[in-house]
Structure 1
Amino acid sequence: MNDTPGWASPGSAPSDGPKPDAPGPAEPTDRPGPAHSADQPSQPGEAPQGPGPQWSKEQPPPAQWSAPGGSAGGGQAPPPPPPGPGWGTQPPGGHGGYGSLGGYGGPAGPGGYGGWGSGWSGPPPAAKPGVIPLRPLGVGEILDGAVSTMRTYWRTVLGISLTVAVLTEVIVVLFQGLVLDNSSSEALNDPSAGLDELSRAMGDAMLNSTVVFVISLVGTVIATALLTTVTSRAVLGKSVTIGEAWRDARPQVAKLFGLICLLLLITAGIVTVGTLPGLLLSLSGSTGPGVALTVLGIIGAGIVALWLMIRFSLASPALMLEKQGIKKAMSRSAKLVNGTWWRIFGIQLLATIIANVVASIIVIPFTFLAAALGGDGISGWLNSGGSSLGWTFLIVSGIGSVIGSMITFPITAGVTVLLYIDQRIRREALDLELARAAGVQGHGSTAPGATPGS
């Protein structure tokens, strides 16, 4: 330890003076001769020299004493910078210890937090080989990842979405134009229509809705299967062509279709069970209580169905990426969603709202344009309750639907896949496997910078 006056080890109190029987500190070389008494002059006629009786005799030399932070409270003397190489100056703000480099004259650690003197500059960022950083994700990063996938690999993403949307919309337009009858749709808006006309119109409407729903479901399944492959490769920063995506997804498409049909059957069964008691009560003659019970049953069934749909919402990417069966994919989804139901529900809801709002901005103008180009005009289309099914209307509105589907497919599928990846990073440290697959070493949930998202 350096015993030069003006230096003391942290925590000591040099102002207390040496203890009895302890050797005093060496005298500095730049001080005058022997210390004189505070009350005796050194020569006749001279003023008394040295500090008064309240001062210690061991005073630091000039220009060697400084108190870090401006003061040393409690009578404790903080150490001055010791002489010798390797100590440097203290960084502004008092951070970083005793040297401007990391530690006592040594180099700073990586990222600026490995030594004493470099100061805290925060952890290094997580590896980001693709559209997302390899760490737990926040809400904004999931949404941005879905949009970045569509923007970076737009040829593949929009090519898949456009192909699927065009095929499904052509089938829907041909079905509505060739099979459905306008007179049946108009009967629903005619107060004088008979029971037979109303029954036939309701049957046509149900047939139209069912066929459109099934066709849209098939298109959604195919788009989801292909876009799942594209998004999973985009996380690693690897591109994929439409042909490669189809070859990778084709073995699982039938299982994915079965999974979605099973989920729809579960939903329909829950709704049926919830509404059946009220309907039976209404048929028995208790109309008021029956209607009330039916409404309560619909609300309860809707809550249960929503809970199950979110619980199994990650089954689709689990089935596609893990090459699992339907039952195993559903159990995997339930395990990943467990404990984070509200978070996943909120993100899925937000993504759906954003996608539908953007699609509506495109589809609604095309719908009015189709009505204006039709024979009856916008007023005639509105007066008919939107039941006009002319070819001009169907084709123009179909173009708007295709453009809208090109936007909704990538966003909804991308968010679902990234939610699945995020949950596996949080639960199973998937980021380590992704980092190895992307050729990035030393990164993951246990590496510096793996800050969890919200």
Structure 2
Amino acid sequence: MAPPKPGIIPLRPLQFGEILDGAFQTIRRNAAAMVGSALIVQAVSQALLGVVSVAMLQTAQSLESAQSQTELNVLMGPLFGLMGGIMGITVLTGFLGAVLQGVLVVPVSRSVLDRRTGFKQMWKLAARRLPRLLGVAALLTLTSLLALAAAAGIAVALLMSMGPVALGIVIPLWLGAFAAYLWIAVKLMFAPAVVVVERVGIYEGLLRSWQLTKNSWWRIFGITLVVALMVGVIANIVQIPVTLATGGIGSFVSPHPDPSSTGSALLLTTVISTVVGVLVGSVTFAFQTSVSALIYMDLRMRRDGLDVDLMRLMETGGDAHGVPGTPAARGGSAAWPQPGSSWPSPGGQMPGAPQGPWPPA
């Protein structure tokens, strides 16, 4: 007998095609919640980047027209400040993306049982978990910055002390650091979803994500990489006609280039490209987040028997306005892991799972 499929996916461990199909269906059923939230984050980050980019362009033009070393030195300060601003906006975008990853798991989880989620309802369900979700996102962002700063600092110190010979050490060091960072990032990528759905603390969420990905690293990495490549190719294909169209608009607005008309044409084409980029980025981010959430659900079905709990919820109709997979949805069982408990238990068995060895990942 085939497993039931009340919503976007069948209630059993998933295959790659089912994850992609479930992600598409989730966006279609909850477009306002998912694409709308991603659109807000993308619009804010792109607007900030646009303002800083225009300021950098003006500063660069001023550098070209500088008449003395004194004017050049005066303009270098604002230029470095704007470069720092771009780095800060990039960090902020990553932080907001981690927060949104945890929030968007709500409509994905509800869609598994064919429960639609509106924009307001999604944020209402995630509101109580926002403080810890913000903590997890801040910790992940700060750790990434510290790792990058440490690798850059070591590389600069080696180059300054040894000269070009240090490249033979720096390049393997950076490759090894990148591989280690990638491995840890995949191990902790589900921490925001865990904090929201399983209602645990920051440390427990990180530890839970680490344990969920055990023996599944390559599968998770492969799916994530393939989806990222697919999204990148599609986004570039969409941007090609936009680039050609903006070029034509620039020629129409400024048929005889002069400083004033060229600046107006550049501003118009930049605005058009930014708007299209925001729309495309919102959809692609929502899709990638849906894929990540479905991988999380798949891991729990493989390790925790979540599919059995979902079948029970489907039959009883319990917790119709909540998030499937939470402790409340499981009936508040004492077997549900509590903050501070080990993942898995010392006997090697996941709390609440039937006796015997774990299902293979």
Same fold (TM over 0.5): yes
Deviation at residue 250 of structure 1 after TM alignment: 2.0
1:29-428 correspondence runs (5 A): 124-177=1-54, 180-186=55-61, 196=73, 199-200=76-77, 203-204=80-81, 206-284=83-161, 286-374=162-250, 390-428=266-304
Structure 1 residue ranges (4+ consecutive) displaced by more than 6 angstroms after TM superposition: 187-190, 192-195, 375-378
Deviation at residue 326 of structure 1 after TM alignment: 1.5
TM-score under structure 1 length normalisation: 0.61
1:36 is aligned to none
Deviation at residue 328 of structure 1 after TM alignment: 0.9
> What is the alpha-carbon distance in structure 2 between the residues aligned to residue 185 and residue 147 of structure 1?
43
> What is the alpha-carbon distance in structure 1 between the residues aligned to residue 104 and residue 136 of structure 2?
17
1:3 is aligned to none
Matched, 1:439 2:315: yes
> What is the alpha-carbon distance in structure 2 between the residues aligned to residue 428 and residue 168 of structure 1?
38
> What is the alpha-carbon distance in structure 2 between the residues aligned to residue 215 and residue 128 of structure 1?
38
Change (3 A) 1:226 1:370: farther
Count how many residue pairs are aligned between Structure 1 and Structure 2.
314
> What is the alpha-carbon distance in structure 2 between the residues aligned to residue 257 and residue 371 of structure 1?
41
Deviation at residue 353 of structure 1 after TM alignment: 1.6
For 2:128, what is the secondary structure of its paired residue?
helix
In our comparison, the structure showing a higher alpha carbon Rg is 1
> What is the alpha-carbon distance in structure 1 between the residues aligned to residue 29 and residue 109 of structure 2?
13
> What is the alpha-carbon distance in structure 1 between the residues aligned to residue 68 and residue 266 of structure 2?
22
Of residues 425-434 and 162-171 in structure 1, the stretch that sits farther from structure 2 once superposed is: 162-171
**Cα pair 1:176 1:389 within 8 Å, conserved:** no
> What is the alpha-carbon distance in structure 2 between the residues aligned to residue 272 and residue 170 of structure 1?
27
Root-mean-square deviation (Å): 3.6
- Gapped runs of 5+ residues in structure 1? 1-123, 382-386, 447-451
**Cα pair 1:164 1:222 within 8 Å, conserved:** no
Deviation at residue 242 of structure 1 after TM alignment: 0.8
> What is the alpha-carbon distance in structure 2 between the residues aligned to residue 174 and residue 453 of structure 1?
51
Deviation at residue 410 of structure 1 after TM alignment: 1.5
Deviations 1:140-173 (A, max 9, x none): 1111111111123334433333344334434443
1:17 is aligned to none
- Gapped runs of 5+ residues in structure 2? 258-262, 318-352, 354-358
Deviation at residue 276 of structure 1 after TM alignment: 3.5
**Cα pair 1:187 1:197 within 8 Å, conserved:** no
> What is the alpha-carbon distance in structure 2 between the residues aligned to residue 274 and residue 215 of structure 1?
21
**Cα pair 2:38 2:285 within 8 Å, conserved:** yes
> What is the alpha-carbon distance in structure 2 between the residues aligned to residue 421 and residue 258 of structure 1?
22
